[in-house]
């Protein structure tokens, strides 16, 4: 697809243009972030800001470090052998990897939904109630579970079988359940790691519609390899690719409209027009 | 596709293989049937004499002295009690220890520990093989360690302390032995079962999908909350089956128990775990049923063996049933 097509697509106004240059609160601030796994540099020199109540998409070819970066945001890489983060990564001004940072507290505020739906082998209710119970939010649990399931657009489908196993749900329902599970503890940020890649188009559409609702309340960072999806859901998009040393790095970061219609970097242009990746 | 014509050698090898496999399967069946048959036939006179009352009658075991004509009396309760108590105690101890070791090896242990400079070791890689080594330890060796190490230690340290602190509770009442007791037997059995439960539960915990563990941790769970909330519930039936396998071993263990249990065969069942006792298996090991004092005593020993067989079969069947439930859950 050519840049012109994108331009038409975007300028036709299918996406509401965001209020021009509204002062946005910075949620994540990455400053020359790098990631090493042992002797391998997976990510190099990534600097950008992620803003509040925006959906920010991370796109790029396979192995470009977009998922690695996402998992740095809630410290899910910590348990990987040899993982080491360089540079500076802050969340609301707090150093995510500083001595003061508490991994468990970080994850409580920054929820995550994975590529493959991973409901616990428990009932639907127990899945959503699991984290609140764990964190001692036991008051009015029923209402909390209902609220989370409604927010994840799943309530009407499961309200009559909350006690049955979550494994009996379809893939798309399981993924929305995982979203409900994540928002049941009212996080500040939702990280979505290719949340629709294992789903059929209808389930994908429902997840994307959900993201539009959710970003009113949460800051969303979504990794996707589907550029159409980035265009459909994201306010801002970061394009990652490999640098000359085969390490992933940030090439370009801009509003989704601008990045897909008038990319500043030739590599972005090549990627979004299908000439590379 | 046309079936390839088999030449003569192929056909012979095929037949030989089939005969060998079928024969091996049949042999297993025959061996089991023969064991059951032998035990029941051997126990015949005692079954005729005592019937099911053998399970409840006085526990005295008094084969008459050579030539004497006093009425013989044998009963199983003391030994059944000893087997149940030592098995359950060791099951409790080894479940706690074995599951903890399994959790450590599969989840908690750091991947690598740097020992200064370039020396890096993996704790799970070091300890894992030790678990298997312990599992392969011959039971008579464990019994010997029981006699040489555990009994003196119990006698000098554990028994006095427990008696001093908890002596007012009947099961911790005063000991009169050199350390030989049901409790010492349970300790030796624990050493024996721990590696079984540890190795099996480690494999179960390692098999819990990483996505589930990540899912729990991404929800702000601590490692312990993740283990308690996801790993243990998901593996519960598998771990239970592992414990039942350990229990099967504890129920049937003879030599190591016989070395430390105290060999009581007179009098009533006493509450204290720190007095000598006896179990079904150790009683049989201590009194060769092939050369009994009288025919009835030999038959009574076979009767004990029959009871033991039932115990073991029940635990193994329970283990299989629970494990089957586990498989069904994972599909």
Q: Is residue A14 part of a domain?
A: yes
Q: Is residue B159 part of a domain?
A: yes
Whether the CB of A127 is below 8 Å from some CB of chain B: the reply is no
Q: Is residue B2 part of a domain?
A: no
Number of domains, chain B: 1
Domain that holds residue A149: 3-272
Output the pLDDT for position B68. 62
State the complex-level ipTM: 0.81
Q: Encode pLDDT of A182-224 as tens digits.
A: 999 989 999 999 888 888 888 888 889 889 888 888 999 999 9
Other CB atoms within 10 A of residue B55 CB: 13
Output the pLDDT for position A124. 93
Output the pLDDT for position B67. 62
Give, in degrees to the nearest 5, the angle at Cα B127 between B121 and B133.
135
B152: tokens are 């003196």
Chain B, residues 70-109, CB within 8 A of chain A, namely none
* Residue A50 phi, psi dihedral angles, 5° rounding: -110, 130
Tell me the pLDDT band of A277, cut-offs 50, 70 and 90: low
Number of domains, chain A: 1
Q: Report the CATH number that the domain containing residue B312 is assigned in CATH.
A: 1.10.3720.10
Whether the CB of B266 is below 8 Å from some CB of chain A: the reply is no
Q: Is residue B31 part of a domain?
A: no
Q: Report the CATH number that the domain containing residue A154 is assigned in CATH.
A: 3.40.50.300
Q: Is residue A277 part of a domain?
A: no
Whether the CB of B328 is below 8 Å from some CB of chain A: the reply is no
Q: Is residue B50 part of a domain?
A: no
Minimal C-alpha gap between B323 and chain A (Å):
17
Chain B residues inside the 8 Å CB shell of A131: 219-221
Task: State how far the Cα of B160 lies from the Cα of B156, in Å rounded to an integer.
Answer: 7
- The answer to whether residues A109 and A96 touch, using CB atoms and an 8 Å cutoff, is no
Dump strand ranges (E) for chain B.
113-114, 120-121
Whether the CB of B211 is below 8 Å from some CB of chain A: the reply is yes
- Reduced to 3 states (helix: H, G, I; strand: E, B; else coil), residue A28 is strand
Contact check, Cβ <8 Å, B209/A118: yes
Alpha carbons within 13 A on the beta-carbon side of A103 = 14
Chain B residues inside the 8 Å CB shell of A177: none
Contact check, Cβ <8 Å, B220/A134: yes
Q: Is residue B68 part of a domain?
A: no
H helices of chain A, in order, are 3-11, 66-73, 103-109, 124-134, 141-151, 155-158, 171-183, 201-214, 227-233, 256-261, 266-272
Q: Is residue B282 part of a domain?
A: yes
Q: Is residue B47 part of a domain?
A: no
Output the pLDDT for position A20. 43
H helices of B51-76, in order, are none
Domain that holds residue B184: 77-330
Residue B220: which of A81, A122, A185 has the nearest Cβ? Answer: A185
Q: Encode pLDDT of A213-262 as tens digits.
A: 888 889 999 999 888 899 999 999 999 998 888 888 999 998 999 999 99
Q: pLDDT 10s per residue in chain B (331 long)?
A: 556 667 888 888 999 999 999 999 999 999 999 999 999 998 888 888 888 888 887 767 777 766 666 677 788 888 888 899 999 999 999 999 999 999 999 988 877 776 766 777 788 888 888 888 888 888 889 889 888 988 888 888 877 788 788 777 777 776 666 677 888 889 999 999 999 999 999 999 999 998 899 999 999 888 899 999 899 988 988 898 889 888 888 888 888 888 888 777 776 777 777 777 888 888 888 887 677 778 888 888 899 999 999 998 888 888 778 777 655 554 3
Q: Is residue A176 part of a domain?
A: yes
H helices of B167-231, in order, are 182-206, 210-218, 223-226
Q: Is residue B16 part of a domain?
A: no
Q: Is residue A12 part of a domain?
A: yes
């Amino acid at each position: 697809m050519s840049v012109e097509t994108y331009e038409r697509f975007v300028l036709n106004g299918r996406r509401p243009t965001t209020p021009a240059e509204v002062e946005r609160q910075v949620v994540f601030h990455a400053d020359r972030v790098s990631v090493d796994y042992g002797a391998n540099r997976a990510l190099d020199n990534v600097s950008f800001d992620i803003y509040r109540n925006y959906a920010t998409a991370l796109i790029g070819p396979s192995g470009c470090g977009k998922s690695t970066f996402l998992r740095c945001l809630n410290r899910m890489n910590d348990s990987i052998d040899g993982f080491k983060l360089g540079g500076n990564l802050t969340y609301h001004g707090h150093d995510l990897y500083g001595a003061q940072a508490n991994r468990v507290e970080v994850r409580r505020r920054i929820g995550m939904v994975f590529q493959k739906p991973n409901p616990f082998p428990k009932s639907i209710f127990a899945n959503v109630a699991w984290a609140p119970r764990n964190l001692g939010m036991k008051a009015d649990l029923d209402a909390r579970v209902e609220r989370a399931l409604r927010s994840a657009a799943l309530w009407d489908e499961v309200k009559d079988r909350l006690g049955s196993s979550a494994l009996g749900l379809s893939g798309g329902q399981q993924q929305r359940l995982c979203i409900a599970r994540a928002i049941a503890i009212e996080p500040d940020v939702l990280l979505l790691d290719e949340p629709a890649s294992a789903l059929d188009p209808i389930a994908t559409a429902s997840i994307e519609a959900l993201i539009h609702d959710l970003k009113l309340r949460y800051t969303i960072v979504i990794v996707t390899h589907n550029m159409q999806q980035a265009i459909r859901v994201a306010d801002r998009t970061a394009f990652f690719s490999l640098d000359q040393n085969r390490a992933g790095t940030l090439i370009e970061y801009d509003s989704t409209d601008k990045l897909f219609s008038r990319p500043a970097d030739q590599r972005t242009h090549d990627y979004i027009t299908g000439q590379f990746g | 596709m046309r079936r390839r014509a088999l030449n003569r050698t192929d056909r012979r090898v095929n037949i030989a293989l089939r005969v060998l496999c079928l024969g091996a399967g049949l042999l297993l069946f025959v061996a089991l049937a023969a064991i059951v048959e032998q035990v029941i036939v051997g126990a015949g006179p005692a079954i005729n004499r005592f019937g099911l009352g053998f399970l409840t009658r006085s526990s005295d075991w008094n084969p008459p002295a050579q030539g004497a004509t006093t009425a013989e009396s044998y009963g199983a309760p003391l030994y059944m009690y000893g087997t149940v108590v030592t098995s359950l105690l060791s099951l409790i101890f080894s479940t706690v220890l074995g599951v903890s070791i399994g959790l450590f090896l599969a989840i908690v242990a750091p991947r690598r520990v740097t020992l200064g400079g370039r020396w890096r070791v993996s704790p799970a890689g070091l300890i894992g093989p030790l678990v298997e080594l312990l599992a392969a330890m011959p039971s008579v060796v464990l019994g010997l360690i029981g006699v040489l190490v555990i009994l003196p230690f119990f006698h000098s340290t554990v028994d006095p302390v427990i008696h001093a602190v908890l002596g007012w509770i009947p099961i911790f009442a005063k000991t009169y032995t050199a350390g030989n007791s049901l409790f010492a037997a349970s300790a030796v059995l624990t050493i024996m079962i721990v590696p079984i439960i540890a190795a099996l539960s480690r494999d179960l915990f390692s098999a819990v999908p990483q996505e589930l563990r990540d899912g729990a941790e991404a929800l702000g769970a601590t490692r312990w909350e993740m283990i308690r909330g996801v790993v243990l519930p998901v593996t519960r039936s598998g771990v239970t089956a592992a414990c039942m396998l350990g229990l099967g071993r504890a129920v049937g263990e003879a030599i190591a128990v016989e070395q430390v249990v105290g060999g009581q065969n007179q009098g009533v069942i006493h509450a204290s775990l720190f007095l000598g006792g006896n179990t079904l298996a150790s009683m049989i090991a201590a009194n060769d049923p092939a050369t009994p004092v009288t025919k009835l005593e030999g038959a009574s020993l076979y009767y004990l063996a029959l009871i033991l067989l039932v115990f073991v079969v029940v635990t193994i069947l329970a283990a299989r049933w629970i494990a089957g439930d586990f498989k069904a859950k994972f599909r």
